[in-house]
Structure 1
Amino acid sequence: MRLLKSLDLRGWLLVGTAACCVALTGAAATFTSSAQAGAALEERKLPMKFSWIGCEPNCRGWVSAVGIITTDTPKDFEEFVRGRQLGGATVVLDSSGGSVNDAITLGRRFRNLGLLTTVGITMQNRGGQGARPAVAPEAYCESMCVFLLLAGKKRYVPEAAHVRVHQIWMGDRADDAKAASYSAQDLMIVERDIGRLAKYTFDMGGAGDLLSLALNVPPWEDLHELDASELKLTNLVTTALVADVLPNVNVSAPAMADLAPKTQDRFGEEPEQPHPGRSTKTAEASVPTGAAPVAASQK
């Protein structure tokens, strides 16, 4: 939100001084916003991280969920929940997707806790020390993040947010899906996961249109961004009032059009120093967590 400050005009000297101060303040605010935007983009490339954002006594606070859904994400969320009373809290999502089965597990946990969901980027320390946190609406919720959004008992999507879908795919062959080869076992895994995703979608109150829109976009094409009518058609949005999910929270933070390009790579990137044994690709139809892959020759 642009903060307008009135100037006390007490002579040209004071006007000049005040103008200089305003210019410096504006430059500092722009630098802070740009820095936070860059940090948010980098965080989205890493495994999903959960943070509690407190803003008492004026609002309850919310959960910030940023990054890629990996096999560790459900466990990480359970560790985050431990010792917290999160029933009915809001989750603010900013994610490029991730593992189908782990997203389903996490989404069902969200619903069991009665969580609410929206899309946005948490902005902290805006305006100096003591300033309340805000939510910037120009965030991205892509691929399996969309199904996490669906898990909320109430769901709100700001107009500036980008909610985008595509087909699920074998995560280890997503970078060049056309050139890769696939076995009958691979096809079985994809079809099985589509079935699990369909059941989850209906269990969460989503419409078949969501699956139809997603499954019509192959991984070598740009993701399909849902417009306002499609968000309603798929039942991803249940309220048009931000106050239903984030009461007393500023959700019109400064526009950050450079936060991520609209042609953002749907599969994200590996972090510079990946955790040993942890895949940060958005594995779209991988073997379920804890299950051993079946040998290709096995009938």
Structure 2
Amino acid sequence: MRLATSSGFCGWALLCAAAFCFAMPGLAAAFDKPVLANVTAEARKQPMRFTWTACGSHCRGWISAVGIVTAETPKAFDDFTAGRDVTGVTVVLDSSGGSVNDAIALGRRWRELGLRTTVGTSAVVKTTNGDRAAVLPEAYCESMCVFMLLSGKARYVPDGAHVRVHQIWMGDRADDARAASYSADDLMIVERDIGRLAKYTFDMGGTGDLLHLALSIPPWESLHELSPAELHSTNLVTTDRVADVLPDSGTMDAPVASLVAKPVQDRFPASVANTAATGTVVSRPTKTAEAVPTGGVAAVAPPPHNQ
């Protein structure tokens, strides 16, 4: 996880029931090749979007959250859930992170609603019994996404998912952090947002290990991928049972889908926003640190300016 301009911080026995399945390698014979539903590398470049996946009478359904957290994301979630009772449902995350303060606000909202969290991509799989809604584990939760994962009342991470952390940084200087200049105000913003993040982490039940791991990885190094042991020591994972985040999904003796390989996730700064109407990528002004997962690769950086 790594700091960018101060408003943004950016096997698995997945079971499949009659209405829902998690993917697991090695059992390809059970299903035809799954077809990913509206989850592409392009979608992860855009501001976070929420979609509802219905899975029939035997499953309540879940929310897919794909993309980068921006200043508009908390309101977008409230608009999405208006008139719908989502108390206790599961959010399936596939995100590169984004705005620190907005991700914290969204995470607190999710905790108020008692939401569960996991990492994956929603898909439709073709089975011998027809199409099924499914969640595939080969997905990414990076930077501030990791702290949104932490907001879940119950939290499950499949073996095929990638959970990665690094420092937050000034977003407009994340490409060449060592060569950039920083003012006293810049340092104040970063320190302030680290404090906010620390309080949030402990409020959500995370441990100091999570902050230590994240804040130890500078922007010029590759993101640190949490091991299974680290997922537990940081309290990012509260359960090893998928049924605890999708309690209506069935039993372990249900058929399991084959895993569909996905390309490595593109990485973009959390301050990059994309207008839905034109598809044009634009830079958003920001006042807080962003978690921008570049993994040591230069990323598109917005010009510095205050809001």
Match status 1:208 vs 2:214: no
**Which residue is 2:137 aligned to?**
137
Taking structure 2 as the reference length, what is the TM-score of the superposition? Answer: 0.76
Tell me, what secondary structure is at the counterpart of 1:107? helix
Match status 1:239 vs 2:220: no
Contact 1:118 1:149 in 2 (8 A): yes
In structure 1, C-alpha distance between the alignment counterparts of 2:109 and 2:281, rounded to whole Å: 25
- Counterparts of 1:1-299 in structure 2, within 5 Å, are 1=23, 2-4=27-29, 29=33, 33=35, 36=36, 39-124=39-124, 126-127=126-127, 131-247=131-247, 248=249, 253-260=257-264, 265=267, 267=269, 273-274=279-280, 278=284, 284=290, 293=306
Aligned-residue RMSD, C-alpha: 3.0
Tell me, what secondary structure is at the counterpart of 1:92? strand
Tell me, what secondary structure is at the counterpart of 1:254? coil
Contact 1:44 1:96 in 2 (8 A): yes
Could you give the per-residue CA deviations for residues 119-144 of structure 1, whole angstroms, max 9, x where no partner exists? 00000254499512100001100000
RCO higher in structure (CA 8 A, sep ≥6) = 2
In structure 1, C-alpha distance between the alignment counterparts of 2:130 and 2:172, rounded to whole Å: 45
Change (3 A) 1:171 1:157: same
Q: CA deviation at 1:260?
A: 1.5
In structure 2, C-alpha distance between the alignment counterparts of 1:63 and 1:251, rounded to whole Å: 23
Contact 1:150 1:204 in 2 (8 A): yes
Contact 1:67 1:96 in 2 (8 A): yes
In structure 1, C-alpha distance between the alignment counterparts of 2:144 and 2:255, rounded to whole Å: 24
Higher helix share: 1
In structure 2, C-alpha distance between the alignment counterparts of 1:46 and 1:254, rounded to whole Å: 28
From the CA coordinates, give the structure whose radius of gyration is larger: 1
Change (3 A) 1:49 1:167: same
Contact 1:136 1:251 in 2 (8 A): no
Contact 1:190 1:285 in 2 (8 A): no
Change (3 A) 1:253 1:99: farther
Unpaired runs of 5+ residues, structure 2, are 1-22, 293-304
Unpaired runs of 5+ residues, structure 1, are 6-24, 287-291, 295-299
Contact 1:40 1:121 in 2 (8 A): no
AA in 2 matched with 1:230:
E
Contact 2:189 2:289 in 1 (8 A): no
Aligned residues: 261
AA in 2 matched with 1:104:
I
Percentage identity across aligned positions? 61
Q: CA deviation at 1:276?
A: 5.7
In structure 2, C-alpha distance between the alignment counterparts of 1:251 and 1:293, rounded to whole Å: 53
AA in 1 matched with 2:107:
G
Could you give the per-residue CA deviations for residues 159-201 of structure 1, whole angstroms, max 9, x where no partner exists? 1110000000111222222222111100000000000000000
Tell me, what secondary structure is at the counterpart of 1:243? helix
Q: CA deviation at 1:283?
A: 5.6
In structure 1, C-alpha distance between the alignment counterparts of 2:282 and 2:273, rounded to whole Å: 12
Contact 1:135 1:251 in 2 (8 A): no
Deviates more, 1:248-257 or 1:69-78: 248-257
Tell me, what secondary structure is at the counterpart of 1:4? helix
